[in-house]
């Protein structure tokens, strides 16, 4: 498409989502898809996918381990506080350097991780709910990896399980938020509307900006990726990352 056609396409997509936000969009209903679902309906849909169960299992296991480990130290309370504080920066780094990884060739080997491939598919079709979640294949190796890392970086068994509880609580919150942003639930609070629009800009305006998911204007402001949308030309590769096939 020409630059003008790209701008027009993006404008239509954003306008449709803004109408959906206000409950005025009928295009999906005409095509047989429900829009503006209730919180109960999107919550039920959330549990039809494997990721919540995988994360929930890890969270319950960490909680059981933490209870059985006994009383810990007061400073363990700083672990979840610290993780929440750095979450926007972690989101930004993971999004930029892992999810938006561009395939690289090392001799005959192509380095193109599953997470990057799945994320390209997610950008190609942001309304496809199964592509919203962390791939279950990745979760199978992430669980032992997180356990090993927690064992290495903590001085006690209680603090290890405290860290794992915090990690899986935050990951579950991230998974729910990202899913909700792509669902047909209409945001009501001012905070959620801001996060909702921030993520829409990343998917429909430019993949080079607005990388945070659970917040808006935090790490993006820190790293200079939260410009005035009116100053950013619509990227022709926003739905085809790196101009690559899936």
pLDDT value at position 32?
A: 42
Q: How far apart are CA 214 and CA 196, in angstroms?
A: 9
β-pair partners for 110: 105
pLDDT value at position 68?
A: 97
pLDDT value at position 217?
A: 82
Q: Using H for helix, E for strand and C for coil, what is the string for 164-189?
A: HHHHHHHHHHHHHHHHHHHCCECCCC
pLDDT value at position 37?
A: 83
| pTM of the entire predicted model | 0.85
Q: How far apart are CA 168 and CA 174, in angstroms?
A: 10
Segments of the chain scoring below 50 in pLDDT: 25-26, 29-33
């Amino acid at each position: 498409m020409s630059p003008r056609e790209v701008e027009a396409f993006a404008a239509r997509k954003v306008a449709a989502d803004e109408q959906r936000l206000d409950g005025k969009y009928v295009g999906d209903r005409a095509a047989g898809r429900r829009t503006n679902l209730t919180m109960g309906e999107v919550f039920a849909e959330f549990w039809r996918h494997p990721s919540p169960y995988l994360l929930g299992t890890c969270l319950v296991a960490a909680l059981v381990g933490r209870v059985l480990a006994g009383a810990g130290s007061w400073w363990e309370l700083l672990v979840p506080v610290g993780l929440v504080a750095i979450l926007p920066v972690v989101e930004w780094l993971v999004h930029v350097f892992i999810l938006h990884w561009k395939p690289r060739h090392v001799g005959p080997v192509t380095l193109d991780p599953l997470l990057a491939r799945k994320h390209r598919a997610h950008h190609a079709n942001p309304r496809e709910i199964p592509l919203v979640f962390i791939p279950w294949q990745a979760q199978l190796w992430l669980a032992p990896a997180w356990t090993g890392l927690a064992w290495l970086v903590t001085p006690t068994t209680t603090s290890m399980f405290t860290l794992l509880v915090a990690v899986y609580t935050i990951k579950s919150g991230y998974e729910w938020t990202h899913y909700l942003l792509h669902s047909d639930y209409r945001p009501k609070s001012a905070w959620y509307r801001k996060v909702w629009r921030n993520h829409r800009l990343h998917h429909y305006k430019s993949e080079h900006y607005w990388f945070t998911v659970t917040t808006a204007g935090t790490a993006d402001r820190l790293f200079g990726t939260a410009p005035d949308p009116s100053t950013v030309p619509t990227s022709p590769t926003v739905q085809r990352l790196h101009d690559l096939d899936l």
